[in-house]
């Protein structure tokens, strides 16, 4: 079995091996000096190496899955997560583990040159272990990237639906960007919650920032209007541009159940009138 061999080998000149490994990483061409200092790299490498050595000593199986490898996985996991957040690419992250191969193999080669069969077996076991660690690193890297993307998506969704209180009893929802089912859901929820919060009776949905209105978007809009109506608020859709009006007519979308206005100003004035307000100029200009 190669594990005792390997751990003995590593223990004997750990410092030089780490140094060689560091050099290999620095020379790999994928090292990002702009994102990571040499000191940090040394610290990471040392942490991994210590954990790796401990796992080799404790582990009876050469596969990095048992409880003995927990520390190694923890080190690799946190390293992978940090680097994913810093903007490293996948290969740059994987190189961290894989670059350990060369110095390791060189040592195995000199130590076991007398027995080629044992050497071959050891090389194979080491390769398998390091490859699996590399794959594990990549997996964590990918998962962290997906988490980041998911979080950003969520934040964008929340950012994109501000519901503004225009006046007492009047809220406005300026929509920007394309409406899909998921966004409509968020838009609808925040609109309804604000209606409850502000006790509004009129809601203005402004679609100046919506590039295209197809049947699906119109359907989503009508749904939001129906939901707001159930909450006791009337909806006004404003900001319909000429092209969009044409599209709506061409598509045969029936917006007759909703009040529509060409611009936001008209919508506000209508909303104020409906709520019983009257706006007059205080002094002639």
**Could you tell me which of 271, 267, 272 has the C-alpha nearest to residue 175?**
267
Helix, strand, or coil (residue 173) = strand
Question: Which lies closer to another protein via its Cβ, residue 70 or residue 189?
Answer: 189
CA angle 174, 179, 180 (to 5 degrees): 150
Does residue 217 interact with another protein by CB under 8 A? no
Stretch that binds another protein, among 34-42, 82-90, 121-129, 188-196 (CB under 8 A): 188-196
DSSP, res 234: E
Cβ count near 128 (within 10 Å): 13
DSSP, res 205: E
Does residue 162 interact with another protein by CB under 8 A? no
Backbone angles phi, psi at 214, to 5 degrees: -105, -175
Least distance (Å) between residue 21 CB and another protein:
56
**Could you tell me which of 110, 82, 154, 140 has the C-alpha nearest to residue 20?**
110
Does residue 274 interact with another protein by CB under 8 A? no
Does residue 205 interact with another protein by CB under 8 A? no
Residues 46-85 touching another protein, rule: CB under 8 A, are: none
Question: Which lies closer to another protein via its Cβ, residue 143 or residue 229?
Answer: 229
Stretch that binds another protein, among 11-19, 93-101, 112-120, 222-230 (CB under 8 A): 222-230
Residues that bind another protein (CB under 8 A): 185, 188-189, 192-193, 195-196, 199-201, 223, 226-233, 257
């Amino acid at each position: 079995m190669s594990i005792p061999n390997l751990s003995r080998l590593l223990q004997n000149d750990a410092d030089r091996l780490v140094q060689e490994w560091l050099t290999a990483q620095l020379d790999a061409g994928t090292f990002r000096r702009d994102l990571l200092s040499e000191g940090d790299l040394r610290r990471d490498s040392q942490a991994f190496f210590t954990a790796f050595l401990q796992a080799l000593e404790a582990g009876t199986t050469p596969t990095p899955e048992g409880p003995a490898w927990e520390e190694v996985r923890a080190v690799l996991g946190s390293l992978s997560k940090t680097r994913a957040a810093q903007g490293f690419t996948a290969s740059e992250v994987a190189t961290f583990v894989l670059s350990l191969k060369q110095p390791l193999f060189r040592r195995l080669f000199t130590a076991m040159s007398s027995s080629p069969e044992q050497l071959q077996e050891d090389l194979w076991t080491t390769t398998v272990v390091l490859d699996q660690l590399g794959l594990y690193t990549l997996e964590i890297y990918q998962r962290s990237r997906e988490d980041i993307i998911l979080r950003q998506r969520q934040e964008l969704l929340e950012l994109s639906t501000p519901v503004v209180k225009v006046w007492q009893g009047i809220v406005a929802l300026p929509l920007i960007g394309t409406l899909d089912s998921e966004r409509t859901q968020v838009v609808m929820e925040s609109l309804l919650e604000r209606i409850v919060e502000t006790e509004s009776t009129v809601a203005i949905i402004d679609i100046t920032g919506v590039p295209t209105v197809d049947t699906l978007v119109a359907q989503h809009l009508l749904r939001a209007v129906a939901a707001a109506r159930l909450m006791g608020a009337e909806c006004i859709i404003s900001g319909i541009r000429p092209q969009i009006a044409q599209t709506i007519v061409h598509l045969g979308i029936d917006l007759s159940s909703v009040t529509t206005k060409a611009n936001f100003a008209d919508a506000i004035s209508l909303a104020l009138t409906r709520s019983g307000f009257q706006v007059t100029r205080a002094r002639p200009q």
